[in-house]
Structure 1
Amino acid sequence: MKTAEDLRQLLDRIDHRGYPAYKDTKGVYQFQRYVLSIDHVQGDPFAAPSKLSLRVPGRAAGFLKELFDRKHKRIALQDMLIRNFYGQIQQYSFQAKGSGKSGIINVTRCSQEILERTACEINPSSGDVTVRFEVGFPANGRTINSRELKKILYDFLPSCVEKALYYGRLDKERVKKVVELAQDQEAIKSQLEAMGLVAFVANGSILPRESGVSQRPMKGAVPFVSPKSMEVTMELPYRGKISGMGIKKGVTLIVGGGYHGKSTLLKALEMGVYPHIAGDGREYVVTDPTAMKIRAEDGRSIKHTDISMFINDLPNGKDTAAFDTEDASGSTSQAANVVESVEAGAKVFLIDEDTSATNFMVRDELMQRVIHRDMEPITPFIERVRALYEEFKISTVIVAGSSGAYFQVADSIVQMDRYVPKEITKEAKAAAEDYPKLELPKEGPKKPSLDRKIRSYPALKSKGRIKIKTMGRDGVTLNHETIDLRYVEQLVDSEQLVTLGNVVKHLEENVFDGKKTLSQTIEELYKRLDSQGLGAVCDGSYLSGNLAMPRKQEIYACLNRYRKLGTARR
């Protein structure tokens, strides 16, 4: 391993030379209290910044083992360190001058959710702290300006590392609270099953967000207060007793007038599959981690999927037990989303009528009389929702504002009134008695076939290396194949999409062989990700710092929207 002085001398030698000479800096260097790695050097000052990483040995970092001895604690601590490092380097970004991206210093900017990321990793055995970040190597035009790079590496960076990554320099009470919150959040999650709940919303939670482009809590918002009839109390290791609304397993209906908070509550439940940072307002909103948002998705691709639970006897004779389309309708897309979520292991469906296909959700009594069941290929969700729970053990939370049809099949009904929830189950059920009952099918649904075997798509690799490009949270492109993920609404960070792109690339290059089902493939892959980390799906000489862990359910969702997914016929 070379020394920091070796790097300094190298920078002196290449000063004023052509920009490609920066490539000579690639390597590993021992600084006084950490090891710096220059992993990838940009081709010119206008290209994407160079990739660097640094490793602080566990003894020097000094974090107590008890702060990271469990995975959820380690992820929370890593998240805090990324935020610390980001706060420090922002003071110095672009302080070193030059052309193009010269002087930029950047690391992942974390969202309100706490995710496992490659930007910071704590080795669970040694306590070593590794941070991956970017630096724009300075130049004048395309001529190296190594004096400015020395400012970054020898003046700015050591100060940032010292203040952000050493336990001895941090506010111990703040570190302690971050880890304790992670413990409390994990405790809520572990109690849901035992209490027969699919979600918990603590009293005092702030659910509304600042704006459509900001996920920070809205100032002056109405704090959440559970109806007494739905209130449960949990014992947490650090917070102690905490009370809030427990949403029971089964079918829960959320109703109310427009702008009264129905969709706001559902959105909080969607995001409750992730832990949130202190001050977010939703720290103690916890949902079953497998919960999936189900919606219509016109135009999506569906590959060899059994949607016969909902759709049969199409006029064109198309096989709905192995349904294929490049341009799904609202109803067929929502049916596929349900079946694919069953395959992905979801135990809770979250549905908002505003983003659902009306003919998929319900057929009222009059329509049933006018259009006989034999003439309608769609079995609406309302006719399957009870069976999904009673036979498949999948609960559903539905937001409805215009149709009372679901009153008949719901176990619990919550009315949102100016952001205040009220349980109205008895009243709503009584009112429903005055209306004709829906005719439900006599036979329950058959379990959908989930044995799709996946083969590779050779044309993707025909031009050599597969290149990945993300479009924010809208989608990911592999060479010229775009996977549209706009409506996979529980993806919260663009770095999750970078990971999904790497997952598809890895599976195409190494795994898809036509012998294993999609489920077998993803389950094996996710076990590797869980044990080996995000590097398990990345090739190359270094690990990028722009990856974040998606849930297993989002890996299913991504592959199911991949138009080149090769399925072997049953």
Structure 2
Amino acid sequence: MKSSQDLKDLLNRIDHRGYPAYKETQGAYQFPGYILSIDHVQGDPFASPSKISVHVSGLQANFPSRLYDQPWKRTALCDTLLRLFSRQAESFTFKASGSGKSGLISVSKCGQEVLARSACTIDPGDGRLTLRLEVGFPANGRTINARELIKIFFEFLPVCVKKALFFKALDSAKIQAVIDLSDDQQAIRRQLPPLGLCAFVADGAVLPRASGISQKSMAGAVTFKSPASMSVTLNLSGGRTITGMGIPKGITLIVGGGYHGKSTLLEALERGVYNHIAGDGREYVITDSSAMKIRAEDGRSIRRTDISMFINNLPNHKDTKHFLTEDASGSTSQAANVVEAMEAGAKLLLIDEDTSASNFMVRDALMEKVVSQDSEPITPLVHRIGQLWKDYGISTILVAGSSGAFFDKADVILQMDQYIPKDITKFAKEQARLFGGASPQPSPESQNGVQSPDCSHAQNDSGTCPAPDFNRIPLAGKNSPAPASQGRRGPGSRENGRDNRVKIKVNGRDSVSINKETIDLRYVEQLVDSEQLTTLGYLLAYAQNHFIDGARTLTQIVDLLEETVRSKGLASVCESSYLPSGLAMPRRQEIFAAFNRYRSLNTGKDQQR
């Protein structure tokens, strides 16, 4: 390995040369206490910055093993170190001058959620730390300005590393508090299933956000308080306890007037699948980790999904067991989203009436009298929500502000009153009973013992529909990356004169592009960071090169992707000589969601006929 002096000598030699001479710096260099690795050098001062990594041995970093001996602790510790490094780097970025991106020092920007990221990792065996960042190599025009890069490598970065990556330089009590919080969050997650709960919201939680574009907590907001009937006390680490609202498995309905906090509570539960940092206000809002937010999504593509549980007997005789469209309606998209969530293993659905298709949710009694069931291909959610829980063990938390159709179906009914929940289950059930004629009609499949047409294709003796068919087999389309058999070796590779590079581009949290196709993910609302979309791009490209073979189902492919990342790390799916710094691991549910919106994939049992 070369020394830091070797790097300085090299930089002095290439000073004032053309920018491509920076390529000679690529390699690893021993600095006092750490290794600096120049993994990829940008080709131009205006191009994407160079990729750098800092490696600190476990002996040098000296973090006690108790701080990283569990996966959730490692994620929390790395998240904290990344935030500390970022604060230091901000004080130095662009302090080295030059053209283009010269002087940039950039690391992943962490939000309120604690995510596993490629930007900072710690080895569970020996405590070795790796931090990945981007640096804009300085230039005057397109001429190397080595003196400014020497500033970055020999003055700025050593300060960042010293103040963020060595345990002796940090406040040990604050680091321990971060780990204790992650232990507490994990303890709550473990207790939910045996207690029959799908979510928990702690008393004192701050749910409202500062604004529509900020996830930081609102100053002076009303703090959460559980209704007495739903209050539970859970055990935390160190013998401590916490009290709050336990939401039971089954069907929970959240009602209330406008601006009283219904959607605010649901949004907190959506993000409760992730841990949050101290001070966020939602640190102890913990939701079943498989929960999926479901909404209407007009215009999305559907790749041969079995939506026959909800839609059948279409006038155009279109097959709803292998439903295929490039431009779904609100109702068909929401039906597909429910079924695809089931396929992805979701055990909790989160639904807001405001973002749902009304004809997917309910048909009132008058409409059912005017337009007979025989003329309506949609079986609304109100007639399936009980079945989802009883037959498939899938709970639902539903926000409703204008329709009382779900009162009869709900196990628990909460009214949000100035951001405070009240358990009105008994009262609401009684009012629904007294209201009588306006209550939802019995489920179509049980009316007078007559089978509903939406289930006639496979009605069983119990009067319920069988589980949807999840035997979908993807095939890569014409815009997909080159398959492995054609020699693709990762971004930037070329073989037999063929350019096999895969171009992955992310547009915030809205979409990810793979080569020429854009995958619209703006309505996959539990994607909380653009780095998750970047990772999805790599995962889909890798799957097309290695796992999509015309024989494996989508579920098998996602299983293989997760196992690959678990056993070999994110670097394995990037197929490049270095691991990009800007990756954050999405959940299994979002991996499925990305596949389901990837128009290049031809998916279905009968696709080869």
TM-score by length of 1: 0.99
2:571 pairs with 1:535: yes
2:554 pairs with 1:518: yes
1:263-292 Cα offsets, whole Å, 9 max, x none, are 000000000000000000000000000000
Moved more, 141-150 or 392-401: 141-150
How is 1:286-297 mapped onto 2 (pairs within 5 angstroms)? Answer: 286-297=286-297
User: Matches of 2:176 and 2:320 in 1, distance apart?
Assistant: 54
Conserved in 1, the CA contact under 8 Å of 2:55 and 2:128? yes
Conserved in 1, the CA contact under 8 Å of 2:322 and 2:604? no
Shift of 1:458: 4.4
Q: Which residue matches 1:9?
A: 9
Q: Which residue matches 1:256?
A: 256
The one-letter amino acid of 1:455's match is: L
2:243 pairs with 1:243: yes
The one-letter amino acid of 2:577's match is: S
Percent of aligned positions that are identical: 59
Match of 2:442 among 436, 439, 442: 439
How is 1:448-459 mapped onto 2 (pairs within 5 angstroms)? Answer: 448-459=468-479
2:336 pairs with 1:316: no
1:386-423 Cα offsets, whole Å, 9 max, x none, are 01000000000000000001001000000000101000
Q: Which residue matches 1:413?
A: 413
Q: Which residue matches 1:178?
A: 178
Moved more, 143-152 or 449-458: 449-458
How is 1:166-245 mapped onto 2 (pairs within 5 angstroms)? Answer: 166-238=166-238, 240-245=240-245
Shift of 1:454: 1.6
User: Matches of 2:395 and 2:605 in 1, distance apart?
Assistant: 31
Shift of 1:528: 2.2
The one-letter amino acid of 1:457's match is: G
Conserved in 2, the CA contact under 8 Å of 1:454 and 1:565? yes
Runs of 4+, deviation exceeding 4 Å: none
User: Matches of 1:239 and 1:418 in 2, distance apart?
Assistant: 34
Q: Which residue matches 1:508?
A: 544
User: Matches of 2:370 and 2:38 in 1, distance apart?
Assistant: 71
Q: Which residue matches 2:522?
A: 486
The one-letter amino acid of 2:255's match is: V
User: Matches of 1:260 and 1:130 in 2, distance apart?
Assistant: 45
The one-letter amino acid of 2:588's match is: K
DSSP 3-state at the match of 1:407 = coil
User: Matches of 2:17 and 2:339 in 1, distance apart?
Assistant: 60
Shift of 1:464: 2.5
DSSP 3-state at the match of 1:431 = helix
Shift of 1:524: 2.0
2:330 pairs with 1:330: yes
Shift of 1:240: 1.0
User: Matches of 1:79 and 1:270 in 2, distance apart?
Assistant: 21
Conserved in 2, the CA contact under 8 Å of 1:184 and 1:239? no
User: Matches of 1:33 and 1:569 in 2, distance apart?
Assistant: 56
User: Matches of 2:272 and 2:404 in 1, distance apart?
Assistant: 27
The one-letter amino acid of 1:133's match is: L
TM-score by length of 2: 0.93
Q: Which residue matches 2:457?
A: none
Q: Which residue matches 2:452?
A: none
The one-letter amino acid of 1:190's match is: R
DSSP 3-state at the match of 1:44 = coil
The one-letter amino acid of 1:542's match is: Y
2:83 pairs with 1:47: no
1:237-261 Cα offsets, whole Å, 9 max, x none, are 1471100000000000000000000
User: Matches of 1:480 and 1:510 in 2, distance apart?
Assistant: 20
Q: Which residue matches 2:387?
A: 387
Conserved in 1, the CA contact under 8 Å of 2:479 and 2:517? no
Conserved in 2, the CA contact under 8 Å of 1:26 and 1:37? yes
Q: Structure 1: give runs of 5+ residues left out of the alignment.
A: none
Conserved in 2, the CA contact under 8 Å of 1:514 and 1:568? no
**What's the RMSD between the two structures over aligned residues?**
1.0
The one-letter amino acid of 2:465's match is: P
1:358-400 Cα offsets, whole Å, 9 max, x none, are 0000011111111111110000000000010000000000000
2:143 pairs with 1:107: no
How is 1:53-72 mapped onto 2 (pairs within 5 angstroms)? Answer: 53-72=53-72
Q: Structure 2: give runs of 5+ residues left out of the alignment.
A: 447-462, 483-498
User: Matches of 2:562 and 2:267 in 1, distance apart?
Assistant: 26
User: Matches of 1:530 and 1:402 in 2, distance apart?
Assistant: 45
How is 1:559-570 mapped onto 2 (pairs within 5 angstroms)? Answer: 559-570=595-606
Match of 1:468 among 504, 519, 540: 504
Moved more, 119-128 or 438-447: 438-447
Q: Which residue matches 1:82?
A: 82
Change (3 A) 1:236 1:145: same
User: Matches of 2:19 and 2:388 in 1, distance apart?
Assistant: 62
Change (3 A) 1:455 1:58: same
User: Matches of 1:341 and 1:530 in 2, distance apart?
Assistant: 22
Q: Which residue matches 1:498?
A: 534
Conserved in 1, the CA contact under 8 Å of 2:479 and 2:600? no
The one-letter amino acid of 2:527's match is: L
